[in-house]
Amino acid sequence: MMESFPKELREYTDITAITQLVLRERESRDSGRWDTMRECFWPDSLVRVSWFRGSGPDFVTGSIDMAKRGVLAKHRLAPILVWLADDRAVSSLGAIIDLPVKLKGVEATLSSHARFIYRAERRNGKWGLFGFDAIYMHDELTPALPGQTIRIEPDEVKEFRPSYRLLSYYLKSSGYTIDSRLPGDDRLDLVDALNRELFSWAGLNVPR
């Protein structure tokens, strides 16, 4: 039926479906709607973020465990841009990951600025997520009460990358193993390699 619609209308419908899929995955993550979040991913999908590398369904399981540990991340999302190629698509959006933390006895919000890149694939007429990657930019720590300070010595964070240094510091202190090989503003070579990988998968040229 859709084949009889103008090409522009079909593309608009697909882009809307992909945009809603990405938003549904993130909103479900923040709200603890785990079954809905799991339904967003194909079983053979791949997620690569600071604390996790594995399939989408396993990422949901890990997110459940993270919530049980009291690591309750929320996400501020920018508008989503979609590059469509028939049954595959790449989408990108800016994001801020907000974590309520307690460091050295002081309550604060740890905010990690990143760009999320999703891969979506249509199978049997349904769009699902095939990949989720993050490009890290920088992070910041804001005490909950004005006037309080949190002093972190340079030696405490020297092992971590500048683009996600404080996030890595906190997550490691919470028992997570951190992947230090992820793309970020301090490793543009890795950003270029990721873009080539993802857009090649979709049969698209990397945007210039």
Query: So what's the pLDDT on residue 104?
Result: 93
The 8 Å CB, 24+ separation contacts for 77-86 are 77/23, 77/26, 80/18, 80/19, 80/22, 80/23, 82/15, 82/18, 82/19, 83/199, 83/202, 83/204, 83/207, 84/11, 84/14, 84/15, 84/18, 85/202, 85/203, 85/204, 86/203
* Residue 59 pLDDT exceeds 90: yes
Record the pTM. 0.94
Reading the block at residue 158, the tokens are 């020297």
Q: Is the pLDDT of residue 7 over 90?
A: no
Give me the pLDDT at residue 3, please: 59
Output the pLDDT for position 30: 97
More confident residue, 39 or 7: 39
Q: Mention every residue, 6+ apart, whose C-beta is less than 8 A from residue 162.
A: 138, 184, 186
Q: Which domains does the chain have, with CATH numbers?
A: 2-198 (3.10.450.50)
The pLDDT value recorded for residue 208 is 87
Mean pLDDT on 74-78: 97
Phi, psi of 97 (to 5 degrees): -95, 115
Mean pLDDT of 12-32: 97
- The H or E element containing residue 57 is helix 56-68
Structure confidence at residue 5 (pLDDT):
66
Tens of pLDDT, residue by residue over 146-195, are 999 999 999 999 999 999 999 999 999 999 999 999 999 999 999 999 99
> What pLDDT shows up at residue 2?
53
Which residue matches tokens 């593309």?
A: 11
CA distance 169 to 76: 21
pLDDT in tens, 102-126: 999 999 999 999 999 999 999 999 9
β-partners of residue 111 are 98, 140
CA atoms within 13 A on the CB side of 188: 0
